[in-house]
Structure 1
Amino acid sequence: MAERTELRVDEWEPTRRTLHMWLQIVGKIRMINADPVNHWWHVTLHVSPRGLTTGPVVDAAGVFEIEFDLLHDVLVVRRQDGRSESIALADTTVADFYAALLAICARLDIDARIHAAPNKVDRAIPFADDTIHHVYDPDHARAFWRQLVDVQRGLSAYRGGFRGKSSPVHFFWGAMDLAVTRFSGRPAPAHPGGVPNCPDSVMVESYSAELASAGFWPGAGEEGAYYAYRYPDRPGYRDAPVPPGAYWDDTLREFILPYETVRRSSDPDALVKQFLTATFDAAQGDDRWG
């Protein structure tokens, strides 16, 4: 198996912040066109053989797809009738990217009347006004996608080992993380909200049931990090034994496994499996979910 990709957070931060805003725009277009699914699963993007995609979105005019082709540095918008348009991914402001995508959507009969400002970021600059984020390094974008492919493999295997209710492995553009969630089958107390530039109602729906979530966030530590948490928290959860290199973070209130620890491991896939298994066992306790 090929070695895992090294991508330092501090080195690719300018590209990450720009790409995050572009992903939010595309994700919001999917959100307003897709039929609602519990826990906001209808808004997510998915890892593809080329990058990240909305997958097929059914709307009044048929079916469309928007894909970030990070292998060829292009955003492609496709219709079921054969129409297709693209935007070159390069050093481009969020404002210019947004304007170009709106024009394509108008020509391809795609509703793009989104809430035109980002969520889950401290400074929510309207997309049409964002000239601050404008950096796109193709090598960094491709390295990020290769990270996601490796993470997808481990999360997909983990998801397949559970008989109960589970989410797909999917990419949340709000926080820019790839995640999978297992559920106990019981309701959960209402989430308190308070997430920057995100309506409390969104968080309440997201966490309306008792769950254990795990995933990968590219903006943590040196090279990103795997994470795992439970909602609601339970006594003793944070004290659970986890593999060497993993730890409980009191600030984030979740378990963390640094990506560089996985990358340097003699068996990265096995270490990820141990982390996911240990944290889920701690989350379910003696209840045996699923």
Structure 2
Amino acid sequence: MKVPWPDIPYQPWRETCSALHLYMQIAGKYRLARTPWVNHSWHATFYVDGRGFTTSIVPDGPGGIEIAFDLIEHAVVGAATDGRTARFALGPMSVATFQARFVEMVRKLGGVADFDGCPNEIPDPVPFEEDRAERPYDGDAVTRFFQASVAVDRVLKRFRTSFLGKVSPVHLFWGSFDLAVTRFSGRPAPLHPGGVPALPDDVTREAYSHEVSSAGFWPGGGPIDFPAFYSYAYPAPDGFADAHVLPEAAYFDTSLGEFLLPYDAVRLADDPEATLLAFLESSYRAAADLGGWDRKTLECAPGQPRRPRRL
């Protein structure tokens, strides 16, 4: 059975996408405030689940609280480990209204709804409780974005299996609103200059403490007005921008300093999974070869169901 790759043009749902991004920042900041730090901010992310995105269990309240965004029935759902549940509907509202409903839900679950109240990685951020403009909610577009995320998550996880070195989970960063996976060479990186909008430099520098090749998926927004895949290296080795990366639709964006591949080039391909894998693998190889990574030690054959890795 083929996994669907739905059409998700950014412009028709850009206002809804912006709202969903901010809503997930609020829930993500709750997780961030309650969870011990894990390298590269991996403790703060979301994961694709069967109906949308989940925080997994946050250490709070009676033992743990999970927050999930159900993007099929369009609700935020909370579950505590003592059996309590709570939910509220996603729909047209302001960011301030969402925050108030979210705080009320966490408290009903026995949690402590104490977290930073300002967005990250957004120019000119407005504190959540002061953002009272009414936001639209296009449920159909949100569900198609979730279905696209399922397809992308599947390929990123497959790509992840062929790396023996340190590699991140496949997870959604709510600051930049991208689904990502990151490979590490094992070597320290030069101190990052920082300067990410509305993000403390010490967070950025900790995230890029070691050499990486990172790839992922944006629904659109910020510097691009279309859904796209990306791949970059930090630090970028000499010649990286000129590397040959597949498929032909991929290109290096000099303003972003990374390779981009429009989502539609994958969606409309005869074999979307193979097309995306070609982009992931060729851009990684460019970073690893030009950066002098020890590929023989770091890599292995792609994982297969029910087959232990051969030594």
Scaled to the shorter chain, the TM-score interval is over 0.9
In 2, distance between residues paired with 1:216 and 1:249? 15
Tell me which amino acid in the other structure corresponds to 1:150: A
Give the structure 2 partner of residue 195 of structure 1.
196
The 8 Å contact of residues 189 and 235 in structure 2, kept in 1 or not, is answered as: yes
Give the structure 1 partner of residue 257 of structure 2.
253
The 8 Å contact of residues 62 and 82 in structure 2, kept in 1 or not, is answered as: no
Note the C-alpha offset of 1:287: 2.6
Q: How many residues align?
A: 290
Superposition pairs for residues 170-185 of structure 1, below 5 Å? Answer: 170-185=171-186
TM-score after normalising by structure 1: 0.97
Give the structure 2 partner of residue 272 of structure 1.
276
In 2, distance between residues paired with 1:58 and 1:23? 18
Give the structure 2 partner of residue 226 of structure 1.
229
Tell me which amino acid in the other structure corresponds to 1:287: W
Give the structure 1 partner of residue 301 of structure 2.
none
The 8 Å contact of residues 17 and 133 in structure 1, kept in 2 or not, is answered as: no
The 8 Å contact of residues 6 and 223 in structure 1, kept in 2 or not, is answered as: no
Distance change in 2, residues 1:278/1:132 (3 Å)? same
In 2, distance between residues paired with 1:76 and 1:3? 25
Distance change in 2, residues 1:283/1:273 (3 Å)? same
Superposition pairs for residues 48-67 of structure 1, below 5 Å? Answer: 48-59=49-60, 61-67=62-68
Note the C-alpha offset of 1:109: 2.1
In 2, distance between residues paired with 1:68 and 1:128? 20
Distance change in 2, residues 1:83/1:3 (3 Å)? closer
In 1, distance between residues paired with 2:262 and 2:133? 29
Structure 2's unaligned 5+ residue stretches are 299-311
Structure 1's unaligned 5+ residue stretches are none
Note the C-alpha offset of 1:222: 5.6
Is 2:130 aligned against 1:129? yes
Give the structure 2 partner of residue 206 of structure 1.
207
Q: Deviations over 1:57-96 (max 9, x none)?
A: 2236301100000111110011011101101011011101
Question: Please, what is the CA RMSD of the aligned residues?
Answer: 1.2
The 8 Å contact of residues 223 and 260 in structure 1, kept in 2 or not, is answered as: no
Give the structure 1 partner of residue 287 of structure 2.
283
The 8 Å contact of residues 4 and 151 in structure 2, kept in 1 or not, is answered as: no
The 8 Å contact of residues 85 and 104 in structure 1, kept in 2 or not, is answered as: yes
Distance change in 2, residues 1:60/1:106 (3 Å)? closer
Distance change in 2, residues 1:266/1:206 (3 Å)? same
Could you list the runs of 4 or more consecutive aligned residues of structure 1 that deviate by over 6 angstroms after TM superposition? none
In 2, distance between residues paired with 1:213 and 1:61? 36
